[in-house]
Chains A and B, each alone.
Chain A
Amino acid sequence: MRGDARNWDEEAYRETILKEREIQTRTVFRTAWAPSLNPNPDTIVVASSDGSVSSYSIPHLVSKLPLGFSNVKAPYLLMAEPNCFLKGHEGPAYDVKFYGHGGEESMLLSCGDDGRIRGWRWKDCIQSDVPIHLQGDQVKPVLDLVNPQHKGPWGALSPIPENNALAVDNQGGSIFSAAGDSCVYCWDVETGQVKMVFKGHSDYLHSIVARNSTNQIITGSEDGTARIWDCKSGKSVQVIEPLKNNKLKGSCVSCIALDASESWLACGTGRSLSVWNLPASECISRTSTRASVQDVVFDENQILAVGAEPLLSRFDINGVILSQMQCAPQSAFSVSLHTSGVTAIGGYGGVVDVISQFGSHLCTFGCKCV
């Protein structure tokens, strides 16, 4: 097709240009490491703004990198083919999580802008032998939950609220979804029914984590507060206002994270990061960042945070920056940590940057359209 006046197909060319731009504007909203027996990072699942949930094999991608790629040259942006591709949602897919006790029996959950939560048997996904470009609807979800609509006057129905984040309680067999109608829905995995609705936030929810040790969940909302809920009663136990003192516009609790002991909470609130000690219910530190924080995760007693800048920052509990390093996405929406210490950062541009435990870029890949 290049420079060819023969068999010119203008429409097809226009399509390719637009497709190219579409890929550029795509966002990876969440990455998740697939459970595997292999202690090394193996497969990463990516939820992106085109509603797709796809998995990529890290060893495979690394093997495709050009030889001699080390820290010397500019990194090579690989347009990667997924090895499993699920057409998950209409509109963006916001979160993926694995439900279950690890291994291949676990279920891949995703939620998205269409207000659905869908679950696939992970084994089915990785064992599918359908060619990748046909795979979109091949694997049938075993779970398909839709958020309820609100009733307005005269029977008017509100639009289906989106699901912005998921949390799971493996023991209780429940999924918690942070929905766009400011409610948290607790779903029973077996029956597919809403077990409980947590109401109280005044604006839509951005993030949710389950604190299984105390049977609590913690949510972060657009209204600028985080709440701790008791799952038994469905009542709000505590309201955390990270920005009580300086109310800034557009500050929402966009991300929250719990450490392994489930006693420390990190909240990304607009352009600041605050750390709370839950047992003591007090704010340990509050740090302002240059760009708004969009995802945080605990790495033992340190905090990894990414935001609307191409940087991965590492803080200690006191909010002191330990290090910052460049990452490929210009605006990162997701940071996820593998048990081996490998970090994956996904964000704007449909780019996922995988950083090894030693701080070098393992590989950087762009999600290709299927």
Chain B
Amino acid sequence: MEDEEIEEGMLVEEEAAPPQPEKSPYEVLRESKSSVENVVAKMLSIKKEAKPKSELRELVTQMFLNFVTLRQANRSILLEEDRVKSETESAKTPVDLTTLQLHNLMYEKSHYVKAIKACKDFKSKYPDIDLVPEEEFFRDAPANIKEPTLSNDAAQDLMLKRLNFELFQRKELCKLNEKLEIHKKGLQETIANRKKFLNSLPSHLKSLKKASLPVQNQFGNMHTKKLKQHHSAELLPPPLYVVYSQFSAQKEAFEEKIDLEIVGSVKDAQAFARQQANRDTGVSTKGETSRLEDDAPDEEDDGQRRRKRPKRAPTKQNPDQSGVYQVHPLKVILNVYDDEASDPKSAKLITLKFEYLLKMNVVCVGVEGSHEAAENNILCNLFPDDTGLELPHQSAKLIVDETPAFDEKRTSRPYKWAQHLAGIDLLPEVSPLLAVHDAPTSDITKTEAIMSGLSLYRQQSRVQTVVQRIRSRKKAQMALVEQLESLMKLKWPALSWESVPWALHAPLCRLHGCSPVGPPPNLASSLPVIDKEQVQEPIDADSVGQSGSSKEELESMREDGELPSLVQVASVSDDKLVQHKGDSRRGISLLSKRPPVSKAKPLSYKRHNEELDFLLDTESDVDEPAHIVPEEESGVPIQCFEVAGKSWVDFGAREFRLVLTRSIDLEKRNVKLEAKIKISMEYPLRPPFFTLSICTMSGENLYESDDSELYNELRAMEAEVNLHIVKMLPQNEDVNILGHQVCCLAMLFDYYMDEASPSSEKRQSTSVVDVGLCKPVSGQLIARSFRGRDRRKMISWKDMECTPGYPY
């Protein structure tokens, strides 16, 4: 473009150039142009002024001349242009060449700059390599590395040497590594071998263990069994675990003659524990379950367990497995042996079964193999006020709120002492498996609390106390049964301890009858009622019935609005009523238990009432102003009230009727002393309680009660038998206390009869007149047999024999 302009410019220059010698073509062009314009203007003016065409000729010629110059000028301009063009062309070639050269050089330069930069940016690897420090290199490097010079640069040389050394070292290490690897492989092989051996070892041991079982049995060392028991003990609920652990500790530490066993399905217990863990935490711990499962196969191949399997089956089907009475599958069996017998295994006293009711958190105890009702249970009232009918703590009561009393049908019962044994008072109420997951801090405080509780437990020697109590209870019951049997056979009980007067006294009275009263307890059914004729006698039955019914009688009397206080005019003797009062005084608590089956009772009651009515009539006839006080409060309910507060005392108490007779004269008059003996479960701690009544029978069927006459004497005899002789007996005679009481009663009865019979002299005095070598001595001491306002009869004991009155 530029070139073209330049060309044009040049063209313009060339146009003007040719006429340069004279006139430049451009000037020519301009002059001719202006002359043309003049001519045209002249022509136009001629045309306008219509001047003759002649002048035009001239002008046209001039025109043509101008045109010729124009053309000439144009041509010379073009020529000029061509020449300039060719000149330019020739000048352009060298310019192009130099431009190309410049470009090449520029490229070369940039390449070099780039190469320089790359060189400058180059980085060596060596700073990344962990080299041995220099001084170490100089110290350790071998000469063949240190000696040769590898580079002129000293630093470079050193570096290279160091690198070489490094390389050398690394190669060495690699070699070592390989060697070790091989060694390792060898070791692993030996380990695998040994492992294989170890794995096979348990089966060997197991077979050994199995082989040793008969030997263990032979030597009475039940090691395997114990281990197994300990194993299943871990699955026990905490209360039973406390029972188990404390009993076994007691056994081992003090050689207590007891045996412990855990029965029940281990599998069920495991399942239960797992279920418990799941429910409590929501997450079952792997370790726990795996441990539990580990146990299972171990238990499986046990011969002992297999034997127990059928035994377990019925308990499983028990309907009360669910609900509030849900029982933990494991139970603890405790065998108590006699601690005085020479051979420990021979004298098993009692077997107890402890079980745990999950819902109620109570431990129940029952006598294994006994299905007796609660009141005959040997364990009731082992400690005061513990009948086992009530649930021991409030929370359990809340659970079974619809039935506040414990299920009567169960043979094992929640005695309070069982709870104490199980340490329920000191255990926190959490399941054993849950405790594991607790936060460590709370766990520590909890375990501390349990530890202190357990030490208290040991201090109180609960286990020992209970075992002793159970033992003495059982022995006492056995002794009691023996004594009762002897009484039922109408034999005087044999007393081994003879340093009391009644033991040596040969009773003059006859043991006429002895029979149980009240609801037939186990003993009554097991022992034959010997006193058959006695029972069949109508009046006898009547009197029993009366005494049995007197409470209801009294109550109904009050309900009827009759006047129990109304007593017959003194001249009329109604001995029965008196007898009633005497009986009901103490008999009340027992009477409620009597099933109202006696036919004699309502009859006698009626008759009695009629008598009362009659008496009322006669009296009101006789004596007008007599104001008869309608008495609501009699002496009877007072006693009743007192007894009501202590109903537990009579729980399980049995009552017996003992009849002693003595003929007092030749007319075949007999005096009959009837003793109601109430034997509480706490025998002999609570000695049997005698309630006496007396009557005279003349001939066969005439009865005459002497109760009111001898009232004070009877009470004194009661006090003697119930209270005073108990104090005289030594501890070890405790269990025979019933025999002592009966013998003592017989002695007292004999004695009273001797006194009462008119033949005996009432008063005696010993007077002495000593006539001899010395001065006569005289004087007398009056012998007395009664004393005091209650006309107490006196007995003096001389060499273990009694004489009426004193001083004899």
Asked if A162 and B787 sit within 8 Å, CB to CB, the answer is yes
Q: Which residues does chain A contribute within 8 Å of B718, judged by CB atoms?
A: 25
CA distance A341 to B42 in the complex (A): 192
Chain A residue at minimum C-beta to C-beta distance from B582: A330
Query: Does B127 make an interface contact (CB < 8 A)?
Result: no
Question: Smallest CB–CB gap between A325 and chain B, Å?
Answer: 4
- Nearest CB to that of B573 among chain A residues? A290
**Interface hit among B184-192, B234-242, B311-319, B633-641:** B633-641
The residues of B that contact A369 with a CB separation of less than 8 Å are none
Given contacts A17-B685, A21-B723, contact A326 B460 (CB under 8 A): no
Contact of B686 among A17, A154, A222, A254 (CB under 8 A): A17
Q: A194-215 toward B: CB 8 Å interface, digit per residue (1/0)? A: 0000000011101000000000
Other-chain contact of B641, A71, A77, A182, A204 (Cβ < 8 Å): A77
Whether, in the assembled complex, A180 has its beta carbon less than 8 Å from a beta carbon of chain B, the answer is yes
Instruction: Tell me if A181 and B565 are in contact (CB < 8 A).
Output: no
| Residue in A75, A290, A348 whose CB lies within 8 Å of B570 | A290
> Measured between alpha carbons, how far is A265 from B415 in the docked complex, in Å?
63
A153-B768, A330-B635 known; A4+B709 contact, CB < 8 A? no
B567 contacts which of A1, A156, A203, A311 (Cβ < 8 Å)?
A311
Most chain A CB atoms below 10 A, which of B421, B627, B789: B789
B708 contacts A5, CB within 8 Å? no
Assess whether B632 is in contact with A72, with CB atoms less than 8 Å apart. Answer: yes
- Residue from A6, A180, A323 within 8 A of B784 (CB atoms): A180
Selected from B416, B687, B788, the residue in CB contact (under 8 A) with A4 is B416
- What is the distance, in angstroms, from B677's C-beta to the closest C-beta of chain A? 14
In the assembled complex, B628 has its CB within 8 A of some CB on chain A: yes
Contact B709 A8, beta carbon cutoff 8 Å: no
CA distance A294 to B788 in the complex (A): 12
Give the residue among A71, A152, A165, A249 with the most B Cβ atoms within 10 A.
A152
Instruction: Assess whether A325 is in contact with B779, with CB atoms less than 8 Å apart.
Output: no
A364 cross-chain contacts in B, Cβ below 8 A:
633, 638
A113 contacts B by Cβ under 8 Å: yes
Say yes or no: B629 contacts A4, CB within 8 Å.
Answer: no
For A47, give the chain B residue with the smallest CB separation.
B789
Interface stretch of the complex, out of B158-166, B273-281, B382-390, B485-493? B382-390
Which residues of chain A come closer than 8 Å to B224, judged between CB atoms? none
Q: Which residues of B contact A250 (CB under 8 A)?
A: 709, 756, 791
> Would you list which residues of chain B between 632 and 673 have a CB under 8 Å from chain A?
632-635, 637-638, 640-642
Decide: A151 near B779, CB < 8 A? Known: A5-B466, A291-B708, A324-B567. yes
**Interchain CA distance A348-B713 in the complex, whole Å:** 12
CB-based contact B570/A309 at 8 Å:
no
User: Could you say which of B386, B756, B790 has the most chain A C-beta atoms within 10 Å of its C-beta?
Assistant: B790
Contact A321 to B570, CB < 8 A, known contacts A204-B787, A310-B581, A333-B789: yes
Q: Give the distance to chain B from A183, nearest Cβ to Cβ, in Å.
A: 11
Q: Cβ of B633 and Cβ of A71 under 8 Å apart?
A: yes
For window 211-232 of A, CB contacts with B under 8 Å fall at: 222
Q: Tell me how far the C-beta of A315 lies from the nearest C-beta in chain B, rounded to whole angstroms.
A: 10
With contacts A77-B641, A321-B570 taken as known, whether A3 is within 8 angstroms of B384 at the C-beta atoms is yes
Given A153-B779, A325-B565, do A309 and B711 touch, yes or no (CB 8 Å)?
yes
Whether the pair B633, A361 counts as a contact (CB closer than 8 A) is yes
The reply to whether B642 and A77 contact each other, CB–CB distance below 8 Å, is yes
Kindly list chain A residues whose C-beta atoms are within 8 Å of the C-beta of B628.
323-324
Residues in B669-685 with C-beta less than 8 Å from chain A = 682, 685
A154 CA / B775 CA spacing, docked (Å)? 11
Q: B426: shortest Cβ distance to chain A, in Å?
A: 10
Decide if A173 is an interface residue (CB 8 Å cutoff). Answer: no
A328 interface residue (CB < 8 Å to B) = yes
Q: Does B626 contact A (CB under 8 A)?
A: yes
**B-chain residues with CB within 8 Å of residue A290 when the two chains form the complex:** 567-568, 570, 573, 578, 708
Output the nearest chain A residue to B630 by Cβ-Cβ distance.
A71
Q: Which residues of B contact A94 (CB under 8 A)?
A: 788-789
Residue of B nearest to A71 (CB): B632
Q: Contact mask A108-147 → B, CB, 8 Å, 1/0? A: 0000010000000000000000000000000000000000
Q: Is B506 in contact with chain A by the CB < 8 A criterion?
A: no
| Bound-complex Cα distance A146 to B629 (A) | 45
Cβ-defined contact, A252 with B417, below 8 A: no
Q: Check: B322 CB closer than 8 A to any chain A CB.
A: no
A74 beta carbon closer than 8 Å to chain B: yes
Q: Which of A252, A290, A294, A323 has the most CB of B within 10 A?
A: A290
Nearest Cβ on chain A to B807's Cβ, whole angstroms: 7
B462 within 8 A of A: yes
**B 205-230 binary contact with A (CB < 8 Å = 1; else 0):** 00000000000000000000000000
A289 at the B interface (CB under 8 A): yes
* B741 adjacent to chain A (CB < 8 Å): no
Q: Closest CB of chain A to B786's CB: distance in Å?
A: 6
* Contact of B410 with A by CB under 8 A: no
CA distance in complex: A323, B630 (Å): 10
Asked if B445 lies at the interface with its beta carbon under 8 angstroms from chain A, I say no
Known: A29-B789, A158-B781, A361-B633. A5 touches B417 (CB 8 A): yes
A55 within 8 A of B: no
Chain A minimum-CB-distance residue to B420 = A5
Given A5-B466, A309-B578, do A206 and B719 touch, yes or no (CB 8 Å)?
no
Contact of A324 among B565, B682, B781 (CB under 8 A): B565
In the complex, whether B377 has a CB less than 8 A from a CB of chain A is no
Kindly provide the distance from the CB of A350 to the nearest chain B CB, expressed in whole angstroms: 12
Name the residue of chain A whose CB is nearest to the CB of B720.
A25
Closest to B472 in A: A10
Known contacts A158-B807, A326-B631, A329-B635; decide if A289 and B570 are in contact (CB<8 Å).
yes
Interface hub of A182, A202, A250 (most chain B Cβ within 10 A):
A250
The answer to whether A74 and B685 touch (CB under 8 A), given A5-B462, A153-B779, A159-B807, is no
Q: Is the CB of A4 within 8 A of B790?
A: no
Residues facing B in A223-250 (CB within 8 A) are 249-250
The residue on A at minimum CB distance from B575 is: A290
Which residues of B lie under 8 Å from residue A113 when comparing CB positions? 787-788
In angstroms, Cα B567 to Cα A311, docked, is 9
Instruction: Check if A308 is an interface residue, CB within 8 A of chain B.
Output: yes
Q: Which residues of A contact B780 (CB under 8 A)?
A: 152-153
Contact in complex: B786, A204 (CB < 8 Å):
yes
Q: What is the 8 Å Cβ interface bit string for chain B, positions 48-87, against chain A (1 contact, 0 not)?
A: 0000000000000000000000000000000000000000
- The answer to whether A271 has its CB under 8 Å from any CB of chain B is yes
CB distance from A180 to the nearest CB of B (A): 6
Contacts of B791 in A (CB 8 A): 222, 250, 252, 254
Interchain CA distance A162-B788 in the complex, whole Å: 7
For the complex of A and B, list the 3 residue pairs with the smallest distance between their C-beta atoms, beginning with the closest. A74-B637, A3-B386, A5-B417
| 27 sampled A-B residue pairs with Cβ under 8 A | A4-B416, A5-B460, A25-B719, A25-B722, A25-B723, A74-B633, A75-B633, A75-B637, A77-B638, A95-B789, A150-B781, A150-B782, A153-B770, A158-B807, A159-B806, A162-B788, A180-B788, A181-B782, A204-B784, A249-B758, A254-B789, A322-B625, A324-B565, A324-B567, A331-B711, A333-B789, A361-B633
Question: Which residues of A are interface residues toward B (Cβ below 8 A)?
Answer: 1-8, 10, 13-14, 17-18, 21-22, 25, 27, 29, 49, 71-77, 92, 94-95, 113, 150-154, 156, 158-159, 162, 164-165, 180-182, 202-204, 206, 222, 249-250, 252, 254, 271, 287-292, 294, 308-311, 320-331, 333, 348, 351, 359, 361, 364
Given A152-B780, A294-B789: 19 more A-B contacts, CB < 8 Å = A2-B385, A3-B417, A8-B465, A13-B384, A25-B723, A49-B790, A75-B641, A150-B781, A153-B770, A156-B779, A290-B578, A292-B709, A323-B628, A325-B629, A326-B564, A326-B634, A330-B711, A331-B712, A359-B629
Query: Which of B's residues lie within 8 Å of A, judged by CB?
Result: 383-386, 415-417, 420-421, 460, 462, 465-466, 469, 564-571, 573, 578, 581-582, 585, 622-623, 625-629, 631-635, 637-638, 640-642, 682, 685-687, 689, 708-709, 711-712, 715, 718-719, 722-723, 726-727, 756, 758, 763, 766, 768, 770, 777-782, 784, 786-791, 806-807
